[in-house]
Chains A and B, each alone.
Chain A
Amino acid sequence: MSAQTHKSSPASPGAPARPHIGTRSLHGFLKIREGSILVVAILLIIYFESSNANFLTRPNLQTLSQFMAAPVIIACGEIMLLICGEIDLSAGMVFALAPFLMYFAHEAGIPLIISFPLALIGVGLIGLFNGIVSVKLRVPSFITTLGTMFLINGFTLTISRGFPVDTPTDGLFTFLMGNEGFAEFIWAVVVVLVMHGMLRNTRWGLHTTAVGGNLIGSAESGINVSRIKIGNFVITAVLAGLAGILEASRIGSTDPLAGGANIMFMAVAASVIGGTSLMGGSGTIIGGLFGGLVLGVLQDGFTINGINAFTFNIIIGGAILLAMIINIHFARLRTMRRTK
């Protein structure tokens, strides 16, 4: 570029003369997608704290964090997939399979510290399969992963004969996996931060957004569209497997009926509540964490308030809808302000 003149006139367009960081974060807060869902989460926390003094206590926060952690970790993968225009319905079954893979590897005499990555590689291959069938054989991922959802569930039930086993333990590994307190939640936060950085600050993340936002345009720009999509299927499966192993390590039991479609839909709900579009092209990992927080607070709050189990689903369903309506409405206000 011949005219690389760095101008300093105040009226120069686009010159990143950015305001003080304090002003920026204040302005930024309401502008960012994640802001509105965090407001919803805080309002819910205030409501439950005012209706039940036990809400903001350490034991309850621990319960809440354990409930949230696994869906949030899976959501980090689902968000990447949703952004690039795909979905993985089999993640909940991968969640149940991964600790069994680790268990059988350990039974075969492989040390736990090696069985663990082996199990993740195993579920990664499932992600690779999901990706290749969806992208190369052009089966919509909703259908591909609906198929593998049943397939993996059947496989897990077959190899386990339908019975739970004790999760293998050894000192260092169990310490790393953290079978108590907030350990699983800390894992979730670390995964969220790493995946957030990846989405916002790497070519992989940028290209994931580009592929979901304009598939043909991305291909015209020379992005390897198939590689991005298949890679995100692998990431999702590995994260679902990690969540499954963390959960099995915390509980101490590896259950073939753990997770399933329920935890997968929780993860997708957390993603969407957090502001990720089901249509692809935009999304946020931090939003997924807040979405998981909203779901967790609702479930936990209503549980300690002693809501009848029958009415519980009515309330949680209604609350999800309400949270979404508020979220989308906030987003529209934001857009209006910006176009003015």
Chain B
Amino acid sequence: MSQAQYTETAAPSVMPGGEALRATNIVKRFGAVTALNGVSLHLKKGEMLGILGDNGAGKSTLIKILTGYQPPTTGTLAINGEEVALKSVDHARELGIECVYQDLALVPSLSIYHNMFLNREPLRAGPLRLLDHKTMRQRAADALEDIGVNIPNVNEEVSMLSGGQRQAVAIARAVYSKAKILLLDEPLAAMGARESGLILDLIDRLKKRGDLSLIMIAHNYAQTLEVADRIMMFQHGEVTFERASAETSVPELLDVVRRNYKVVRGAH
């Protein structure tokens, strides 16, 4: 059933406004700690949602739930309008959910193309099951070019790349693996202005493809506003603010944070 919907979204004409993801009333408790307290969100096909929030706001818990790493205590997830209980990370991947983690999960001592195909390497025909380096090189170069990333040599070790290039390789890997919903965990963390610009451009291009729905988790308000269609603010495990990027501003976001900070302090 969901398979049928893939083909639908993979077709050049994407049904605009269709729903890629919906989370309803997600609660996640770890013992006495409530990390997420009734969070609901939705993501349209081809939409880019920016999620802002400080440390401890529940952003990483949300990622773990959306990627199938942990189940929610209560609440439901629906993908392409169909309710699912994610059983594992692999299960989430089968459904087209990929996450580019902050640590990127790249192996520095391996080449770009080996990293792109880690654990899904094409093999040459024959009983020896040898790696098909040639196909990997070619496809890796194509996949990078496909998303407009200019890395001259896919044989280069990842350890030789800049932070932005590494991020681009990790994103290309996720996109190449037929992601439909791409989660980006702090893609701009610890990156200089120029590098951030490159990644923001890349995210912009991915958005324009129309077949990917993106959720970007970030700290930087200005950059997130620039690239996201819609902004959600997470504070203390709850959604405290949600608006289209065009209808809000950095000062307003800062004001929301300040107000809630005061409320919390007042409560103590």
Report Cα–Cα, A6/B142, bound state, in Å.
8
User: Distance (Å) between the CB of A199 and the closest chain B CB?
Assistant: 11
User: Distance (Å) between the CB of B167 and the closest chain A CB?
Assistant: 14
The answer, yes or no, to whether B146 is at the interface (CB within 8 Å) is yes
Give the contact stretch, choosing among A69-77, A208-216, A240-248, A303-311. Answer: A208-216
User: Distance (Å) between the CB of B98 and the closest chain A CB?
Assistant: 11
8 Å CB contact of B150 from A4, A13, A212: A13
Residue tally, chain A, CB below 8 Å to B: 36
User: Distance (Å) between the CB of B77 and the closest chain A CB?
Assistant: 20
The answer, yes or no, to whether A221 is at the interface (CB within 8 Å) is yes
Within 8 A of A (CB), among B123-153: 123, 128-131, 133-134, 137-146, 150-153
User: Distance (Å) between the CB of B103 and the closest chain A CB?
Assistant: 7
Report Cα–Cα, A221/B150, bound state, in Å.
24
Q: B108, A213: Cβ atoms under 8 Å?
A: yes
User: Distance (Å) between the CB of A89 and the closest chain B CB?
Assistant: 24
User: Distance (Å) between the CB of B14 and the closest chain A CB?
Assistant: 12
B12: nearest chain-A partner, CB-CB: A2
Report Cα–Cα, A16/B135, bound state, in Å.
10
8 Å CB contact of A14 from B119, B130, B153, B176: B153
Q: A213, B105: Cβ atoms under 8 Å?
A: no
Cβ of A6: which chain B residues have Cβ within 8 Å of it?
138, 142
Report Cα–Cα, A209/B159, bound state, in Å.
14
The answer, yes or no, to whether B15 is at the interface (CB within 8 Å) is no
**A203-B129, A221-B119, A222-B119 known; A214-B150 Cβ under 8 A:** no
Cβ of A12: which chain B residues have Cβ within 8 Å of it?
141, 145
- What 1/0 mask marks residues of chain B from 82 to 122 whose CB sits below 8 Å from any chain A CB? 00000001100000000001011111111000100011010
The answer, yes or no, to whether B160 is at the interface (CB within 8 Å) is yes
The answer, yes or no, to whether B10 is at the interface (CB within 8 Å) is yes
The answer, yes or no, to whether B218 is at the interface (CB within 8 Å) is no
The answer, yes or no, to whether B154 is at the interface (CB within 8 Å) is yes
**A3-B146, A14-B154 known; A281-B109 Cβ under 8 A:** yes
Within 8 A of A (CB), among B1-55: 10, 12
8 Å CB contact of B141 from A13, A201, A212, A223: A13
User: Distance (Å) between the CB of A203 and the closest chain B CB?
Assistant: 6
Report Cα–Cα, A183/B161, bound state, in Å.
45
Cβ of B109: which chain A residues have Cβ within 8 Å of it?
209, 212-213, 281-282
Cβ of B154: which chain A residues have Cβ within 8 Å of it?
14, 16
Report Cα–Cα, A16/B90, bound state, in Å.
32
**A281-B108, A338-B160 known; A13-B145 Cβ under 8 A:** yes
Cβ of A179: which chain B residues have Cβ within 8 Å of it?
none
- What 1/0 mask marks residues of chain A from 11 to 29 whose CB sits below 8 Å from any chain B CB? 0111110000000000000
Q: B106, A214: Cβ atoms under 8 Å?
A: yes
B69: nearest chain-A partner, CB-CB: A220
The answer, yes or no, to whether A313 is at the interface (CB within 8 Å) is no
Q: A1, B142: Cβ atoms under 8 Å?
A: yes
8 Å CB contact of B152 from A14, A203, A221: A14
B107: nearest chain-A partner, CB-CB: A213
Report Cα–Cα, A210/B150, bound state, in Å.
24
The answer, yes or no, to whether A202 is at the interface (CB within 8 Å) is yes
Report Cα–Cα, A216/B151, bound state, in Å.
26
Cβ of A57: which chain B residues have Cβ within 8 Å of it?
none
Q: A216, B134: Cβ atoms under 8 Å?
A: no
User: Distance (Å) between the CB of B159 and the closest chain A CB?
Assistant: 9
8 Å CB contact of A221 from B108, B118, B137, B141: B118
Q: B131, A202: Cβ atoms under 8 Å?
A: yes
The answer, yes or no, to whether A117 is at the interface (CB within 8 Å) is no
- What 1/0 mask marks residues of chain A from 171 to 193 whose CB sits below 8 Å from any chain B CB? 00000000000000000000000
Within 8 A of B (CB), among A204-230: 206-207, 209-210, 212-214, 216-218, 220-223
User: Distance (Å) between the CB of A57 and the closest chain B CB?
Assistant: 40
The answer, yes or no, to whether A5 is at the interface (CB within 8 Å) is yes
Cβ of A8: which chain B residues have Cβ within 8 Å of it?
none
Cβ of B142: which chain A residues have Cβ within 8 Å of it?
1, 3-6
Q: A223, B107: Cβ atoms under 8 Å?
A: no
Q: B108, A214: Cβ atoms under 8 Å?
A: yes
Q: B90, A213: Cβ atoms under 8 Å?
A: no
Starting from the known contacts A206-B131, A210-B110, 6 additional A-B residue pairs (CB-CB under 8 Å) come to A7-B145, A16-B137, A214-B105, A217-B104, A217-B106, A223-B118
Residues of A within 8 A of B (CB): 1-7, 12-16, 197, 200-203, 206-207, 209-210, 212-214, 216-218, 220-223, 281-282, 335, 338-339
